[in-house]
Every structure is written in C-alpha cells, then in structure tokens.
Amino acid sequence: MLNIPQWLKGVFGTAGIAGSLERETPSFYDLISENAAIEQIATGFQFTEGPVWFAEEKVLLFSDIPANKVLKLTPDGRVTVFRQPSGNSNGLARDKQGRLIACEHGNRRVTRTETDGAVSILADKYGERRLNSPNDVVVKTDGTIYFTDPPYGIHSAQQEQPVQGVYRLSPDQGELTLVADDFTAPNGLAFSPDENRLYIDDSERRHIRVFDIQSDGSLSNGRIFHDMNVAKPGSPDGMKVDIWGNVYCTGPGGVWVLDQEGTHLGTIIMPEQPSNCAWGDDDLQSLYITARTSVYKIRTNIPGIYL
C-alpha cells in the first residue's frame, strides 16, 4: 500500500489546463521553444513515476506505484504491462547491459530484471537491517548504482534503518555503502554530464544539494544547489540533466530548469503535479514527464543524457 507522507498530502492536482512555460531568464527559450506544446500521451493511472527510455525498442517504461505495475508505452500510444507485481516500483533506471533496475518501494529493495524476466535482488539490507523503501536510482557508466532510501513506503514502526540514507552499490554489486546520512527525505538524483557530481534532492527540506564524487565512489563537499522552498505546493522529486549540464527537476507546479550554477531559468508548468522525467525518442530531445495520473511529453532544443 502506498503510504503518502503527511507533508505531501494535498499537493497533487488533477488534469485540467494544458500547461505552459514560465520563463525566469531569456536563456530558458534557448532550451525549450516558447511555443513548445505539452502533450498528454497516456492517462488513467493512479500514481505514475520512474520513466525510463528503452532506445532499442523505442518504448518508455514507467511505474504506477499503487497499481503495483511497471508499464510499457509504445510509439503508437498503447500501454501494456511489462511487470506485475512490481513490488510497488518507484524509480527505474537501466544498467550497462540494458537491464531494468527498479526501486521496489513496497518490497523495500532494489532489483534487476534479467533478460529472461527473472528478478534478482541487488540490495534489501544495509548491515543486518532492512532498507526503508528505496525511491529513486541512477547508474554510472562504470556500473555503479546510487539510490535513495526515504521511508515513504513504510509506517514509522516498520523502520529499521536509523537514517534516511543515500547508498552506493559497487559495479560488481558486491558492496553496499552508505554515502550520505543527513537527509530528511532523499528522493530524486542525477549525475552531471561528466559524472563528477551527483545532484540529490531532499523533498521535505525542499532543496537540491550537489556533491562531488570521489574516485572511490564516496561523496564530498555537499552544498545547496537550489532552494525550492516557495509559496506553491509541491516539492523537488525526480530529475534529469541535458548535455549542457542543465538540471530538469520536478517541483512546485511543474518541471524546474536550472543551469549548472543553480540559477532558475524557467519552469514547465504542468496540468498535474509531476513526479519524475526522462529523455527519449531517437534524438533524445523529448522530455517525458510522469505526473500523477498521466504521462506527458515536451520537445526540447537540447538533447538530454540517455540514462
């Protein structure tokens, strides 16, 4: 069962207006054309999350958390079930071999779906204690996996870990390391284009932090990248980065676009509160956005990074 924390209740709207673009600086329209349309490409879901593009099949996979499904969206707009039950999967990613990595919010674990459909557990405990409820995940080009572990999918009495952690799983999946332990609600995360920095948002504190990634995979020099604590409902959630290093983070009212220095360039105002996003299509210039009951798409001028 999806346990929506109290601070998130009431922030999710329903589909209505078509959405719009809200410019903060002139350079915003260099990234997204002023007349770019926000297209609803699928709807009727309970709570969508974790979009990930499969280039070889030209399909988008995404989670419907309460429905306990990973769904597949084809170019002709058909939606089929990729995996059910999904462990109430949340964030999704792909590993070096193209296999699906899933944060199973309900099963309290991170898994890999093998090419034959079998599911392998990559992490479900840290030390002798069960993880909270893994939320979002990213995979480096060397195979290293980082994921966040807030307590959204459990009740307080079920929590065994003393922290809401961010973890690193070594490329051979043999070592799980706690790399950050001072978050209140770690959520979305993304690498800079050169993979030297890792952006992680704290949804309860409503800000994004950025860390330097050391040669051993540890994180250092954590600092505030952008503060989203504004007088609008919603909090930072899933995020992705384009080839120029601009960060696209779902947040209050829509998808916030930030440059490499953390300057707010503009916002893609959404008809529903968004949860996550992913680059797709052949040129990686389509930003797919999961938002409550629907999946949306907007074309951009700059390609994203395929993750």
Which structure tokens are listed for 37? 């349309």
pLDDT in the model for residue 307? 66
Is there a contact between 149 and 159 (Cβ–Cβ < 8 Å)? no
* Of residues 194 and 173, more confidently modeled: 194
Q: What is the 3-state secondary structure (H, E, C) of 2-25?
A: CCCCHHHCCCCCCCCCCCEEEECC
In-domain check, residue 6: no
**Does residue 139 lie in a domain region?**
yes
Cα-Cα end-to-end distance for the chain: 28
* pLDDT surpassing 70 at residue 2: no
Q: Comparing C-alpha atoms, which of 236, 240, 239 is closest to residue 253? A: 236
Task: Calculate mean pLDDT across residues 7-24.
Answer: 56
Residue 31 within a domain: yes
Do 129 and 109 contact (CB within 8 A), yes or no?
no
CATH number at residue 189: 2.120.10.30
In degrees to the nearest 10, what's the CA dihedral of 121, 127, 132, 134? Answer: -40
Q: How confident is the model at residue 75 (pLDDT cuts 50, 70, 90)?
A: confident
* DSSP class per residue in 123-140: ESEETTEE------EEE-
- Note the pLDDT of residue 177: 98
Number of structural domains (the chain) is 1
In a domain, 3, yes or no: no
- 272 has a pLDDT exceeding 60: yes
Q: Per the domain annotation, does 45 fall within a domain?
A: yes
Q: What is the mean pLDDT of residues 36-61?
A: 96
Does the residue 16 lie in any domain?
no
Q: Is the pTM of this model over 0.95?
A: no
In a domain, 37, yes or no: yes
Cβ atoms 187, 234 nearer than 8 A: no
Instruction: Give the range of the structural domain holding residue 106, as residue numbers without chain letter.
Output: 21-299
* Closest by CA position to 293, among listed 12, 16, 3, 47: 47
- Whether residue 130 lies inside any domain: the answer is yes
Give the pLDDT mean for 283-292: 97
Q: Cα torsion at 94, 49, 209, 226 (round to 10°)? A: 130
Both tokens of residue 18?
């078509």
The CB-side HSE value for 149 (13 A sphere, CA atoms) comes to: 33
With CA atoms as reference, report the closest residue to 155 among 307, 3, 1. 3
- pLDDT score of 6 more than 90: no
CA-CA-CA-CA torsion sign (236, 238, 242, 244): positive
Average pLDDT over residues 87-93: 98
Q: Number of helices (H) and strands (E), helices first, in the chain?
A: 1, 27
Task: Identify the weakest region by mean pLDDT among 75-84, 122-131, 256-265.
Answer: 75-84
Arithmetic mean of pLDDT, 34-61: 96
Residues 216-242, mean pLDDT to the nearest whole number = 96
Which tokens sit at 91?
């964030």
- pLDDT, residue 3, reads 46
Give the model confidence (pLDDT) of 128-162 as tens digits: 999 999 999 999 999 999 999 999 999 999 999 99
